[in-house]
Amino acid sequence: MKAKNIRNDEFYTRLEDIEAEFSHYDAFLKGKSIYLPCDNPYRSHFFTYFVQHFNRLGLKQLIATCYDASFSQLSLFEDYDDNGALISKPKTAYQAVINEVKAGQSIQELVKSKVNTLTLLDENGDFASEECFLLMKNADVVITNPPFSLFRSLLHLLNQLDKDYVLLGPSQAITYSESFQLFQAGQLHLGVTPFSSGLDFEVPRGSPFDKERDGLFYKSVPIAWFTSFGVNSPPQKLQLTKSFDPHCYPKLDDNEAVINVDTLLDIPKDYRGQMAVPITFLKVWDKHDFELLGKIDKAMVGGQEKFTRLLIQRIKK
């Protein structure tokens, strides 16, 4: 494979970002079984979080599966089995099944306890593989930060299964046809962390990074949390000061009825017609003030193509 074709999926979510979001989901997760389909139990802070909160949430079960090609440096299956023999299978796809968590247990102790298991998968740990699909089907809730390139297919799978989920994804995933349709239909909600927040993800040494802290490397990515649960995401307050001036707001090339607004602060406070605005509008969208009419994938303004736009209109009061 040529280097440029190698996909870098190893972006690890920080525990503090998971805590900030999941402190709002207790009521949805109590007593549930949770499946983490893209999560190496030794590496994923989603796993850490749900182990730490297993008893408080009264979880029925926690399962994490790990993809074969996941971060080989930290493939901790180079471990000894109960008879002291080195597990020599070169695969790194495995699953941890947690039924009980005792206070103070390390992950090593946890997976070695009699009621929990850490076993190799038969297939490669692809979430779409038959055995992971079955785990997904049987779980109450599926939670993860999947490879961003596979976000669409995981969301599609979850909707086919009519499964509850909480996914971390790139903020532009809201513009994918299926996500946007579900969002408009009120079946997909944005999480509590403000839409399009730039979160720092830990990346393996040698990958492109923005920051280095304590010997670890981080890359910042604008993200959103996408969930089937109706979590309450209060919009950020936007103070609009501009008044509409027809000379300052060009119309879309192919639709004279819609004005284009490039930055949120430029949304005219007194305009009643349709506006094409950047998707970051979702950060500040107050449903009592604006209606979300749709999205425009290729908005042309003065012969120039804009990034995907949301079509909005002030609600008549």
Residues contributing to the site for ligand SAM (CB under 6 A): 9-13, 37-39, 44-46, 67, 69-71, 125-127, 144-147, 150
Tokens representing 211 are 């920051």
Closest separation in Å from C-beta 175 to ligand SAM: 19
DSSP tag of 52: H
The helix or strand, by DSSP H or E, that contains position 197, with its residue range, turns out to be strand 197-203
Question: Is 306 strand, coil or helix?
Answer: strand
Asked if 254 and 245 touch (Cβ cutoff 8 Å), the reply is: no
Tokens representing 299 are 């908005």
Q: Which is nearer to ligand SAM, 69 or 192 (CB)?
A: 69
Q: Which is nearer to ligand SAM, 143 or 296 (CB)?
A: 143
Q: Which is nearer to ligand SAM, 146 or 191 (CB)?
A: 146
- Bridge partners of residue 165, in order along the sequence: 142
* Contact partners, residue 239, CB within 8 Å, separation at least 6: none
Closest separation in Å from C-beta 69 to ligand SAM: 6
The helix or strand, by DSSP H or E, that contains position 298, with its residue range, turns out to be none
Q: Which is nearer to ligand SAM, 54 or 127 (CB)?
A: 127
Q: Which is nearer to ligand SAM, 94 or 127 (CB)?
A: 127
Tokens representing 67 are 């993809």
Q: CA 219, CA 200: separation in Å to the nearest integer?
A: 5
